[in-house]
Amino acid sequence: MVGFGKQGVVNYLLKNFLRLILVIIAVSAVSFVLISQSPIDPIKVYVGEVGMGNMNPETYAKLQDYFGTNVSPIKRYLNWASDFIRGDMGQSLIYRQPVISVIKDKFLNTMALMALAWVFSGIVAFVLGVLSGVFQNTWLDRLIKNYALITASAPTFWLALIIIMVFAVWLKLFPIGFSVPVAVARSDVTIWDTLYHLVLPALTLSVTGIASITLHTREKVIDIMGEDYVLYARSRGQKLWPLVKSHVLRNVTLPAITLQFASISEIFGGSVLVEQVFSFPGLGQAAVTAGIGGDSPLLLGIAIISAVFVFGGNFLANLSYGLIDPKIRRQGGRD
Amino acid sequence: MFEENGAILTVENLTIRFSRYEKGLRKTDLVVINGLDVSVGYSELVAVVGSSGSGKSLLAHTLLGILPSNCGASGAIKFMGEVLDKEKIAQLRGKQIVLVPQSVTYLDPLKKVGPQVRNDRNDQASLEAQEKLFDYYGLKRETAQLYPFELSGGMARRVLLSAAMMETPKLIIADEPTPGLHLSAAKKAMRHFRDFADEGNGVLLITHDLELALEVADKIAVFYAGTTVEVAPVKDFQSADTLRHPYTKALWHALPQNGFQTYPGTQPYAGDDLKGCPFAQRCQTVSEACQGPIPSRPIRGGLVRCHLAT
């Protein structure tokens, strides 16, 4: 909510900053508990079953030092936290690089994928939802509703496989995976190559997002179509499209923005599965690797980055209310 | 019908039914308005009075063509001598027939008042017309820049009146325009309708407030269980003896100045199987003939649906 005067804005930002810190503490603590309680022995994963058998005790001790499995979890967490506060997210145990550089590397890929899916699903779902709601109970509505219900209940990984099968294997329109062509020097990769590789994963990621946002938008539009002010506008002879333009779209914008920003977390979650199926080197895939490899610094780093990202999305949604909703805008300005 | 000639609006035998699905897929019709008669003459303010939630708003919705899609209306409706069908309504609503709704919820909460009053027209003529109306109703011109939530109750009412007057209407349908208002405040609001009617137009006032209706109306149509049991000139309400229908008499006796007497029983629900007079279960003078169909009869310059009325 903006517009409460300078003092108000400072307070508001401060409050949200504190909230963010609490979220980071909670997320890191929970993730750490989960990974330290997981039955996976990172050393075993690292050297393999055979390696474990052939290892002499000194090497094992060294590896224990490296993975920190001989230190108590609480001490490990506090070590990590004190480094984190100083801006050091530690070393990734698997990638053998600083966590921050692994994340930087993957983040751009994931961002591109998510941004594309987010914008695409947002626009398509909004249009479908409004059409479906305005033409409630017509064949168009039934078509859109059934499409949304079916895709909403289809698992993402399965959809991803179907999409690969149809578009990559049968039609050969798009590559089956990865973010760049195979066997091409990094310097030779063009932006078109990147986009070309993004299409299928982004499409897959959009599908489920479209379903839920469409259904929610539809509900909102149906509510609005039943409002007194729509009835009144109709009684004054407003035709359907002017009415939709002047009342429905205006009133559905606010909930649509909420939905759109709320879907960021869903898309983030979906990206883990999609990146896995498409062998797409993004944060989601790195999170899976870190999780099953016992790479706690990397997993914590990714968890925190994701939390900050989702938090930022919701924060932006709140700010946008202040700009759009006259109740917040005007009352804020007056106090 | 009396005043058949030269009426702005005549509604005869209006029946409204909802179709709904009961258990399984059996479709049934629910009759909510059955055989409603009312007419509005030139310079006349007619009040349709009935208890809250009895479905009288549906009359307004029918006249403006905004009934829900699972709802069908039949009957003979004429506007200034011409049959008022769907096409005609689409032509006239918002222009010659306008609705004054009951509250600020009929304004879009996210839209400034000005464009809403102008019905989204922004040409010079509309702007001028709107400002003139605001002046007339004592609204500041800056009111146009406000959002509905910034209006007081009284301002909202005048804004809705201005919206109604944007096109020169012939008939105003006012649906409960004064909910929760003090009698004196309500009377003030009513004055605008009275003035409008006195200029040779018609007002159909739909209300649950008989006392208020008696203050301003020329004619009262008493709505009971989906039908008009009586249509009477206001002067007949000076005494219970000049009224025709037992229900109207009961209403009269329930007024504070006439003894505040309650009447036993409740109104039947829509969908209750009603043959004959809807008031028969409660009527103290019920007879055999009340179980059959009850036509509307003209008596002493009014209309009544009762065999026993004289």
**Are B108 and A246 an interchain contact pair (Cβ–Cβ within 8 Å)?**
yes
**With contacts defined as CB-CB under 8 Å, which chain B residues touch A247?**
108, 111
pLDDT at position A327 is 78
Residue among B64, B120, B149 whose CB faces A242 most closely = B120
Closest chain A residue to B86, measured at CA: A237
Task: Identify the structural domains of chain A with CATH numbers, from first to last.
Answer: 16-85 (no CATH), 99-334 (1.10.3720.10)
Comparing C-alpha atoms, which of B131, B187, B129, B127 is closest to residue B157?
B187
pLDDT at position B221 is 93
pLDDT at position B273 is 60
**Are A235 and B119 an interchain contact pair (Cβ–Cβ within 8 Å)?**
no
**Are A236 and B94 an interchain contact pair (Cβ–Cβ within 8 Å)?**
yes
- For residue B31, which phi and psi values (nearest 5 degrees)? -85, 120
- For residue B292, which phi and psi values (nearest 5 degrees)? -90, -175
**What are the helix (H) ranges across chain A?**
5-37, 42-54, 57-67, 73-85, 99-134, 139-153, 156-163, 191-225, 228-235, 240-243, 249-277, 283-293, 296-324, 326-334
pLDDT at position B46 is 94
Residue among A231, A232, A330 whose CB faces B147 most closely = A330
Residues A160, A166, A168, A170, CA torsion sign = positive
pLDDT at position B43 is 93
- Asked if B64 reaches chain A (Cβ–Cβ under 8 Å), the answer is yes
Residues B280, B283, B284, B286, CA torsion sign = negative
- Asked if A173 reaches chain B (Cβ–Cβ under 8 Å), the answer is no
**Are B105 and A330 an interchain contact pair (Cβ–Cβ within 8 Å)?**
no
On whether the CB atoms of residues B104 and B110 are closer than 8 A, the answer is: no
Residue among B95, B108, B149 whose CB faces A327 most closely = B149
Closest chain A residue to B106, measured at CA: A229
Residue among B61, B95, B110 whose CB faces A250 most closely = B110
Pairing of strands B171-175, B97-100: parallel
How many distinct helices (H) and strands (E) make up chain B? 8, 12
**With contacts defined as CB-CB under 8 Å, which chain A residues touch B204?**
none
Closest chain A residue to B60, measured at CA: A235
Tokens matching residue A19 = 């909230």
Question: Is pLDDT of B38 > 60?
Answer: yes
Residue among A232, A250, A330 whose CB faces B101 most closely = A232
Residue B96 carries which side chain, given as an amino acid letter? Q
* C-alpha radius of gyration, chain A, whole number: 24
What is the C-alpha separation between A281 and A286, in angstroms, rounded? 7
Encode pLDDT of A264-320 as tens digits: 888 888 888 888 888 888 888 888 888 888 788 888 888 898 899 888 888 888 888
**With contacts defined as CB-CB under 8 Å, which chain A residues touch B163?**
236
pLDDT band at B4 (very low <50, low <70, confident <90, very high): very low
Tokens matching residue B260 = 């505040």
**Are B106 and A330 an interchain contact pair (Cβ–Cβ within 8 Å)?**
no
Tokens matching residue B14 = 């209006």
Residue among A228, A235, A247 whose CB faces B105 most closely = A228
**Are B106 and A229 an interchain contact pair (Cβ–Cβ within 8 Å)?**
yes
On whether the CB atoms of residues B34 and B26 are closer than 8 A, the answer is: no
Closest chain A residue to B173, measured at CA: A235
Encode pLDDT of A5-32 as tens digits: 677 778 888 998 999 999 999 998 998 8
What pTM was estimated for this model as a whole? Answer: 0.79
Task: For residue B285, give how far its alpha carbon lies from the nearest alpha carbon of chain A (Å).
Answer: 42
Residue labelled with tokens 């004196």? B184
Helix or strand holding residue B131 (H, E): helix B124-136
Closest chain A residue to B100, measured at CA: A232
Closest chain B residue to A334, measured at CA: B150
What is the C-alpha separation between A177 and A164, in angstroms, rounded? 8
On whether the CB atoms of residues A259 and A168 are closer than 8 A, the answer is: no
Helix or strand holding residue B309 (H, E): none
Tokens matching residue B86 = 């769907």
What is the C-alpha separation between A99 and B186, in angstroms, rounded? 72
What is the C-alpha separation between B209 and B198, in angstroms, rounded? 22
Most A CBs within 10 Å, among B58, B108, B142, B176, to test the A interface: B108
Encode pLDDT of B75-118 as tens digits: 889 999 888 888 889 889 988 999 998 888 899 998 999 999 99
Tokens matching residue B7 = 């009426």
- Asked if B29 reaches chain A (Cβ–Cβ under 8 Å), the answer is no
Domain B7-43+55-86+213-304 has CATH 3.40.50.300: yes
- Asked if B108 reaches chain A (Cβ–Cβ under 8 Å), the answer is yes
**Are B108 and A229 an interchain contact pair (Cβ–Cβ within 8 Å)?**
yes
**Are B101 and A228 an interchain contact pair (Cβ–Cβ within 8 Å)?**
yes
Helix or strand holding residue B154 (H, E): helix B153-165
> Which residues of chain A fall short of a pLDDT of 50?
1-3, 333-335
pLDDT at position A9 is 79
What is the four-CA torsion angle of A250, A251, A257, A259, rounded to 10 degrees?
A: -140
**With contacts defined as CB-CB under 8 Å, which chain B residues touch A327?**
109, 147, 149
**Are A247 and B108 an interchain contact pair (Cβ–Cβ within 8 Å)?**
yes
> Among residues of chain B, what percentage have pLDDT more than 90?
27
Residue among B65, B90, B150 whose CB faces A330 most closely = B150
Encode pLDDT of B253-298 as tens digits: 888 888 888 888 888 776 666 677 888 888 888 888 888 888 888 8
**With contacts defined as CB-CB under 8 Å, which chain A residues touch B64?**
234-235
- Asked if A260 reaches chain B (Cβ–Cβ under 8 Å), the answer is no
**With contacts defined as CB-CB under 8 Å, which chain B residues touch A227?**
105
Helix or strand holding residue B179 (H, E): none
Computed over every residue of chain B, the mean pLDDT equals: 85
On whether the CB atoms of residues A276 and A201 are closer than 8 A, the answer is: no
pLDDT at position B24 is 67
pLDDT at position B35 is 83
Question: Is pLDDT of B55 > 80?
Answer: no
**With contacts defined as CB-CB under 8 Å, which chain A residues touch B66?**
231, 234-235
Pairing of strands B219-224, B44-49: parallel
Question: Is pLDDT of B219 > 90?
Answer: yes
What is the C-alpha separation between A154 and A322, in angstroms, rounded? 36
On whether the CB atoms of residues A204 and A212 are closer than 8 A, the answer is: no
| Vertex A128 angle, CA A123 and A132, to 5° | 155
- Asked if A236 reaches chain B (Cβ–Cβ under 8 Å), the answer is yes
On whether the CB atoms of residues B244 and B233 are closer than 8 A, the answer is: no
Residue A227 carries which side chain, given as an amino acid letter? E
On whether the CB atoms of residues B73 and B11 are closer than 8 A, the answer is: no
**With contacts defined as CB-CB under 8 Å, which chain A residues touch B109?**
229, 251, 327
What is the C-alpha separation between A332 and B232, in angstroms, rounded? 53
Question: Is pLDDT of B70 > 60?
Answer: yes
What is the four-CA torsion angle of A12, A13, A19, A22, rounded to 10 degrees?
A: -150
Q: What is the DSSP letter of B150?
A: G
Residue among B93, B101, B111 whose CB faces A237 most closely = B93
Using DSSP, state whether B235 is helix, strand or coil.
Answer: helix
